[in-house]
Structure 1
Amino acid sequence: RRNMPSGEVFTGPHEDSAEGIVTFTVPAEYQGQMVRGARLEFRAGQVVTASADEGESALHAALNTDPGARRLGELGIGTNTGIQVPTGNILFDEKIGGTVHLAIGKSYPETGGVNTSAVHWDLITDLRQGGRLSLDGEVVQEDGVFLI
């Protein structure tokens, strides 16, 4: 109804559960500034360090908007294999089959999320270029291909 084309599965993460470092390989625009090569380190669900190859000031501005901007609001998996390359439009790019996106900031209450923020910004990494998605310790997607 409001997010076309279709092609993603998404949920709200447990706000204090994210641990580790993620690098986002698909460029993303934030308030008119392009951000490339963003890297976020999470501890206990909160971004503790952040950097970017380009647009690092925009990344930090987003994260410093309010306390909720440093937490995850969404975990999404792109499933639309008809979209092959990023277009620069986040509503298309987040659905590319073989990608995963994490949104910092506001979560969707309908997914059980409780995080509040003025920010909801999707950042995408392309697993087709070599990456792995594990759920509860089990690898479910490798190099953009589902294994289960």
Structure 2
Amino acid sequence: MADPREEKLAKLLVQHSVQLQKGESCLINAVDIPITMTEALVRAVYDAGGYPVVNLWNQRLERVMCEQATKESLQKWADVDTYRMKQMDAFIGIRGIANVRELSTIPEKSNLASTYYNIPVHMKTRLPHTKWVVLRYPTEVFAMQANQGTVEFEDFFYKVCTEVDYLAMAEAMAEAKKFLDTVDKVHIKAKGTDLTFSVKGMGWIPCAGRMNIPDGEIYSCPVKDSVNGTITYNTESTYHGHCFKDVSFTFKDGKIIEAHSDDDALLNEILDIDEGARYIGEFALGCNPGILKPMDNTLFDEKIFGSIHFTPGNAYDDCDNTNRSAVHWDLVQIQRPEYGGGEMYFDGELVRKDGLFVHPRLTCLNLSL
């Protein structure tokens, strides 16, 4: 039986996130989600006067496709999907979580797929050439990751996805951006963290419900060779099927020269995928007031109120320090008091303490539901 909240979510994605116009084509990439959600998206695209194109996919098939994959097979797959993506005006990617460990035993194949499939299809085609949004669907596995009951988690999911005032969020971020765009030096201090870098000339990009749902971040990018010091992340993060804990990076002139976690070998294997994986491609401030606890899901955790994420790997085209990589790994540090606190300085001035903005030009980002 369809959940009426699926219809509301579908309309938000089509009308607000990708702002689909009459006559535009929209690829719906539906991975391990109920058919009712896919149907709701198709109806919403038609209601907007658009043309829906549907790709039904699942995690087990993804594993089978990767298990015996070669560079050549992945390039052929990517050629087909790149051609299709180029015909699209918009992309809605919605993925359920069936098994977060599905790819954990084939990390080398996952890395190969990142290089020869994800980069051409998503990094080089979808990101710069379509209006896109990606999100997760509230499955039982997702609820378990969040340490919540299924019904409780579904209520939380729809609240933070569809009940946030994204127009008000966009206005607050636009106001904050006027100040942020003037910033040069950034200094972050927290437990296990003393990190400096420059964002001079990089600009800041507000995210208020367009590319992600839920949303609530404003991001920039460090000048590539400016990062020095150490950062320790206090949230877990699953990447290529392995849940990493206690990740810590030490930088010199932009490059990660030391990397530690509960699995140093696997962590460094990821960072050695290519040269760009050891440089940072994104720095962002999380400010969704409805998301307060980590749940080992990037699209939620990176929006946590009072957090930052500092991302090894590929930079986005709209905030580009020229770093290129098959990796883009959003790792999160929460700075609210219950997670150890933290301070952020812009050009030597304290702007955020223990997760709350204290600078008068940025207090607008202390949002509430």
TM-score w.r.t. length of structure 2: 0.39
- Higher RCO, 1 or 2 (CA under 8 Å, sep at least 6)? 1
Higher mean alpha-carbon deviation, 40-49 vs 129-138, is at 129-138
Q: Which amino acid aligns with 1:108?
A: Y
**Residue aligning to 2:245:** 36
Task: Tell me by how many angstroms 1:38 deviates.
Answer: 0.6
Task: Tell me by how many angstroms 1:55 deviates.
Answer: 2.9
**Residue aligning to 1:116:** 324
Q: Deviations over 1:94-129 (max 9, x none)?
A: 000100001101000111331000100011111112
Please identify which structure carries the higher strand content: 1
Q: Map of 1:1-148 to 2, 5 A cutoff?
A: 1=17, 2=133, 3-52=212-261, 54-128=262-336, 129=339, 130-148=341-359
Work out the CA distance in 1 between the residues paired with 2:257 and 2:306. Answer: 27
Q: Deviations over 1:57-76 (max 9, x none)?
A: 33212211111000000001
Work out the CA distance in 2 between the residues paired with 1:43 and 1:83. Answer: 33
Q: Which amino acid aligns with 1:81?
A: P
Work out the CA distance in 2 between the residues paired with 1:26 and 1:65. Answer: 23
Larger CA Rg, structure 1 vs 2: 2
Secondary structure at the aligned position of 1:22 is classed as strand
Question: How high is the sequence identity, in percent, across the aligned residues?
Answer: 38
Task: Tell me by how many angstroms 1:40 deviates.
Answer: 0.3
Task: Tell me by how many angstroms 1:14 deviates.
Answer: 0.7
Q: Which amino acid aligns with 2:231?
A: V
Work out the CA distance in 1 between the residues paired with 2:265 and 2:235. Answer: 17
Work out the CA distance in 2 between the residues paired with 1:85 and 1:123. Answer: 14
Work out the CA distance in 1 between the residues paired with 2:346 and 2:255. Answer: 19
Work out the CA distance in 2 between the residues paired with 1:91 and 1:58. Answer: 23
Structure 1 gap ranges (5+):
none
